[in-house]
Amino acid sequence: MEPVIKQIALPLSLDRQFSFDNFVADRAGLILSSLQALILGKGENQLGLWGAAATGKTHLLNASADFARKNGVVLQIYDGAQLCRCEADEFEGFSHCDVLAIDNLDAIAGHTAWEACFYQVINRCRAGEFRLLFALSAKPDALATQLGDFRSRLQWGLLLQLPQSGDDEIRKILRRRAQLLGIDLSDEVISYLMTHHARDLGEQISILRRLDGISLSQQRRVTIPLVKQLLAESS
């Protein structure tokens, strides 16, 4: 039987719906200025973002890629969960980028070969070969890693916690996401969504995308009756 070759995952494609301009969060000014400084080589060489689901980690990494592209900086994004399905010793594709960005880096925790790989990645970052940006779902010292040195190196640079969005921020985010989709989302519809469905931002954005699909297919505006129809069909 021929051996199975586990090729390295390719960099993620830039999702152009995300930018620094449409990021809404508490302390957004500090977060965005820190990211811009790293990308332009005027701040930390290593920056980690951590927070629970739907706090904006993936948004910020894609927004960083957008900002880098506009400023002539070569930034590559990889997903930690995808990398784990490949061989760690093949991970060399980023060697010519200015900024290496890794979403879901905590997915490699417990994979000794990948932890050792990123131990060296961080060493190379600190040596000035490139700048490193990564996102985690938990603070580095809470990760169940095999290598303590890898966990400690994750704490070498700047670490920023992304806070959970409050109701006002969720409203603003929903309105902005709706605008990106070309949806006119009224205050009444937003209030209905907030009152009758989970306040979890990820769930709300998922509903918004499905509303976009059903409104296009039925050629209808997004109204409370349309939201009721969608939620009834999903239950």
The per-residue pLDDT for range 111-129, each reduced to its tens digit, is 999 999 999 999 999 999 9
Q: What pLDDT was estimated at residue 235?
A: 62
The answer, as to whether pTM is greater than 0.85, is no
**Any residues with CB less than 8 A from the CB of 207 and at least 6 apart, and which?**
193, 197, 227, 230, 231
- Give the residues of the chain that fall short of pLDDT 50: 1-7
Handedness of CA 98, 135, 104, 86 (dihedral sign): positive
DSSP assignment of 128-143:
TS-EEEEEESS-GGGS
Write down all domains in the chain, each with its CATH number in brackets. Answer: 20-161 (3.40.50.300), 167-234 (1.10.8)
Burial of 132 (0-12, 13-18, 19+ CB in 10 A): buried
Report which of 75, 28, 76, 36 is spatially closest to residue 172, judged by C-alpha positions: 28
Residue that is written with structure tokens 């494609």 in the block: 13
| Alpha carbon distance 135, 162 (integer Å) | 10
The per-residue pLDDT for range 61-77, each reduced to its tens digit, is 999 999 999 999 999 99
